[in-house]
Amino acid sequence: MNSLATKEKVALFSCLLIAFALLIAGAYKFLLAHISGLALLNILGVSLIFIGTGCTPKLFFTPIKQLFSSTHKQYTLINEKIQQSIVIIGLLLAMVAMLLGF
């Protein structure tokens, strides 16, 4: 965490704040406003995407050309496989909720 610049720390905390705000609002709506389970599943998926993206704060400030180069190694705050799993599970949950909602 000490190796992060101030702007990267802001990106990390912004992603985590958005994710937890979504989770709290989704839980509130599910318990008190009685939204469907699919909507809660969708909120959980989007929250996981934000958490996973927040674990790679340097991603926001890396040039796009460098991101798609074959030699680029992405810096993550946690194990790279765990970060990728969090994002992929979030994407899958959100897609399942959207497809079952139609």
- pLDDT surpasses 80 at 93: yes
> Which one has a higher pLDDT value, 2 or 30?
30
Q: What is the pTM of this model?
A: 0.89
Query: What are 32-91's pLDDT values in tens digits?
Result: 988 888 999 999 999 999 999 999 998 899 889 988 888 888 888 899 999 999 999 999
Residue 88 lies inside a defined structural domain of this protein: yes
Q: Which residues neighbour 39 within 8 Å (Cβ) at sequence distance 6 or greater?
A: 26, 29, 30, 97, 101
Q: Give the amino acid at 46.
A: V
Section 23-35 average pLDDT: 90
- pLDDT surpasses 70 at 1: no
Q: Is 96:41 a contact under the CB 8 Å cutoff?
A: yes
Residue 1 lies inside a defined structural domain of this protein: no
Range of the domain at 31: 6-101
DSSP letters, 53-89, are: HHT-GGGGGS-HHHHTSTT-----SS-HHHHHHHHHH
Nearest to 86, CA basis, from 43, 55, 41: 55
Q: Which residue, chain included where needed, has tokens 């720390």?
A: 9
Residue 73 lies inside a defined structural domain of this protein: yes
Q: Which residues neighbour 67 within 8 Å (Cβ) at sequence distance 6 or greater?
A: 59, 74
Q: How many domains does the chain have?
A: 1
